[in-house]
Structure 1
Amino acid sequence: MSKIIIIGLLVILQNGVFSQNLVTLDGLLEIHHRDGFNGNVLYSRNDSIIFKGNYGFSNIEKQIPLIDESIFDLASLSKQFTALCIVQLIEKGKLSYSTKIDSIWNALPYRDITIEHLLRHQSGLPDYMDLISKKKYWSKSTIPLNSDIIEILSKNTIPLEFYPGTKSVYSNTGYAVLASVIEKVSGMKFEEYLEVNIFNPLEMNDSRVVRRIYKQDTDPKITTGYYRKGKRNKPNYLYDKRMKLYDGIVGDGMIHSTILDLIKWKKALKNNSLISQDSKEKMFSGDSISKSTGFGFGIQISEKLGKYVLHTGSWQGYVNFLLYILDTDEFVVILSNNEYEEYGELNTLLLKYGR
């Protein structure tokens, strides 16, 4: 999906397509909605919302319509929040990028993994989803938490996939470990740290950690996730309850938010409200290893046609996209609670007709 989105973006930028009729944009998005898209979209420029729209239902069975305040599972869009929390702790002197995780948990058998390796997907840690799906490491009768992942890695001799710092390979485990680092160093629960240090200061009042099965949240604005069954776009299958085994882990996912809260997040990044300019530049930049893969801290980066940062997220029927073009101060958010196949086209439409 991300390749389609990037290609669409580059085509639009190269062709220099600018201001178009927003009514046309809404009409085209309605066509996608009839074809199966269900979600909220937002396009902003220079901190002003140029276009936003709600297409479909928060809950299809109950016919509850989507609103601007509808809350979506961000899936892997959560990683940028986890990364920024770590950067804050580093700025406070509680960590450094070179801190090794075995100095935080002495029982961990991995001696050369640093905080920066985790941030840049360079740790080589094994996939925790694979580990807890095996009876050897975990009983499926209990939903594991982040602390259980640390314990599994500490008590078992599980080899790394590669030596730390030699490759960049996308890692959910790395961000689950980072959430545990936040808890260990700050003395606060992951969700509490987010609330105190990000959501409350930015008045992101509809953003929080939600673990739907492990700890239910009854907020009526929380959407229901749907995933496709077969090859059709229609959202004809509720989220898979068999995935409850992964519902207790945070850091790599589980943050929920809205299109309106996410523009507050973008403004905070732009204005250095949460971290310094120097820290932001490091977060938005690669290194000698990650340069080829495009990994910053919790985001993907590119400088092909002016610098932009982005990330996608997919989980339990939610398919999301966030793009921030730094040079032109443009911001695109697409939050969907079903698995719509033509997802990349929506980003292209927002950039083409929003300009």
Structure 2
Amino acid sequence: MKLLETIGLRALRTFDPETAHGLALKALNTGLGPSGGAVTSDRLRCTLAGLDLPNPVGLAAGFDKNATALAALGRTGFGFLEVGAATPLPQEGNPRPRLYRLTEDEAAINRFGFNNEGMEPIATRLSKRPKGRIVGLNLGANKTSEDRAADFARVLAHCGPYVDFATVNVSSPNTEKLRDLQGKDALAALLGGVIEANAAGIPVFLKIAPDLTDADLQDVADVVGSSGISAVITTNTTLSRDGLSSVHKGEAGGLSGQPLFEKSTRILAKLSTLTDVPLIGVGGIGSAEQAYAKILAGASAVQFYTALVYGGISLAGEIAQGLDELLARDGFANVADAVGTAREDWL
């Protein structure tokens, strides 16, 4: 991390977390960030659901909810980006405060509730995005919707022509009853509607929660295998509060960051034994070693976001470069060769 970035992070921590987040996006858009572009090499280049990635390290949804920093993020070390979540109609989300730093735990708790400007302005920005980077959109449902399943299809139909992939997000804990859509029958119906609305023919991913039982995972695998889903993002935030020490540990919402690493990686490894669909490992990644562990456990690619709060935006390039070195150390010619080779360690 550069000295200027270290100073900037310290300054941002003097603000409440949501204000700091907004300031970080503004700083990126003024040019205060990396400018070298995606880190890549022959080892790091890979294919995910038909998408050619310069490296397998992606930005998770939630950092750039409204697709306002696409050009700036395109200059960072990430191999691919995911923005959103976008809902059909704009919505305020839950009352503030709704984002908490758990500094002692290198974690965060949020209960945003899909706050975003709605699919129309987001689609407009996506239509003007810089070329040459892989960008996806996380699909959400409005809290007041009478048919949340239809909301996902509506956003995909509107925004699909402007992105490289879309993610069906049924795993946020902050919209009441949204996680109920992970049940087998509801999920099958939901995904069927989304795939039918996919006129652009882009890969559609599914994002699941880490709080699923083995039976739930089997249901997800069964549905995914027959639905046309191209990848599963494993996982979203957790409702668990095990082992936390921060004063904010009791806040309602989804927990992300370091405490999620082991739980999400075990879910990833289990799911990798149940489906041949590619998996994207998310949850608690803050170093190249942790990104590598996800790949060895069964992930074809990874994403992170919370670690940026503690490590800065340059962490993307550092993780990708470190991953290249770890692959080389262990004699892997490419990412694909490493996927799942240490799955048994997590089962």
Bigger Rg, which one: 1
- TM-score above 0.5: no
